[in-house]
Structure 1
Amino acid sequence: MPDLLRLALEQLEAMPPSIWLRRSGTLYLLVNAAHIGSIGLLIGSIVPLDLRLLGLLRPGPLAVLAPVLARTAAAGLALAVLTGAMLFGVRPLEYLQNPAFLVKMGLLGAGALNAWAVRRGRAWARVLDQGRASGAMRAQAGASLLLWLGCLVAGRWIGFL
């Protein structure tokens, strides 16, 4: 690991929020619970949205469901990133040496990029206007489903390595 990165991570570990989390089992528990809850919010929103976009779930009109589920998933992602960063600060050097953590971060980045591409693409506007998903949108929904579920599995894998 480069010295500059090691120094930055040691500084992160020495910051007050990281120290507070290490010293308080209750605070760590609450932040960890918030992280798990936010992951539940993300996965609980993105899975039905992706399944609906794939045509495997038909509970209601896509043009109505898609914006609500997408916003809820975005809120879950934002909270998961915030709480995850706080948890990372407790032991950053150890996490960066954990292959499951690296896989999780790669999948998280790919999932976020895919979500960004969906929101920027014409196919999303078509979903909102016409309530139908194109072939490209279905492919992105399938990729989303695999990326986010893979991220979830990799996150649980961290504790086993």
Structure 2
Amino acid sequence: MMTGLVWLEQSGVAAAMTAWPALYIVVSAAHILSIGLIIGAILPLDLRLLGFFRQAPLAAIAPLLSRTATAGVACALVTGVLLFTVRAREYAANPAFLIKLGLVAFAILNAVMLHRGLAWKEALARDGHPALSVRIAAMLSLVLWPGAVLAGRWIGFL
């Protein structure tokens, strides 16, 4: 594993990110904006699934918010990998980074399982009170995504 991390740190991507500080800044800013997309889309969707904002039809807002969050996750993953290449060994040994990765993985799995389930389709079709499984997924999401953000901020302090 260590040789793979060293390879990443010596890759052309890492060299470019190090040689051109402006590139690192742009990628870092894009990572932050991606996180904003995720949280900005998921928070209102999860709250709606938990019974808040009932005046907003779930069938109307859920597809837009889900797609927005998905785009944010995709961008955050790409920019995160680019940032990782610069200090791969350091990040791989950082407990906060490992916690962040675990929380992100679990949050993505939670979202995928929710969207593939019948209860999600029923919630969109009925626009009523979502099933318990949907509400549990929303509660998990409300813990996992902000937890990943907090763990991400914690990385620099360890």
Shorter-normalised TM range: over 0.9
**TM-score (ref. length: structure 1):** 0.95
The match for 2:107 among 111, 120, 126 is: 111
Measure how far apart 1:58 and its partner are: 3.1
Instruction: Render the CA deviation track for 1:65-120: whole Å, top value 9, x for unaligned.
Output: 11110010000000000000000010000001111000000000000000110011
Aligned to 2:9: 13
**Distance in 2, Cα, partners of 1:59 & 1:12:** 49
Given the alignment of the two structures, is residue 143 of structure 1 paired with residue 140 of structure 2, yes or no? yes
Measure how far apart 1:127 and its partner are: 1.8
**Distance in 2, Cα, partners of 1:38 & 1:115:** 17
Measure how far apart 1:17 and its partner are: 1.0
Aligned to 1:86: 82
**RMSD between superposed Cα atoms in Å:** 0.9
The match for 1:124 among 111, 120, 123 is: 120
Structure 1, unpaired ranges of 5+: none
Measure how far apart 1:47 and its partner are: 0.5
Q: How many residues align?
A: 157
Runs of 4+ in structure 1 off by over 4 angstroms are none
- 2:127 counterpart letter in structure 1: G
**Distance in 1, Cα, partners of 2:119 & 2:56:** 19
Structure 2, unpaired ranges of 5+: none
**TM-score (ref. length: structure 2):** 0.97
Structure 1 stretch displaced more, 9-18 or 74-83: 9-18
- 1:152 counterpart letter in structure 2: V
- 1:147 counterpart letter in structure 2: L
**Distance in 1, Cα, partners of 2:100 & 2:54:** 30
CA shift in 2, pair 1:37/1:8, >3 Å: same
- 2:120 counterpart letter in structure 1: W
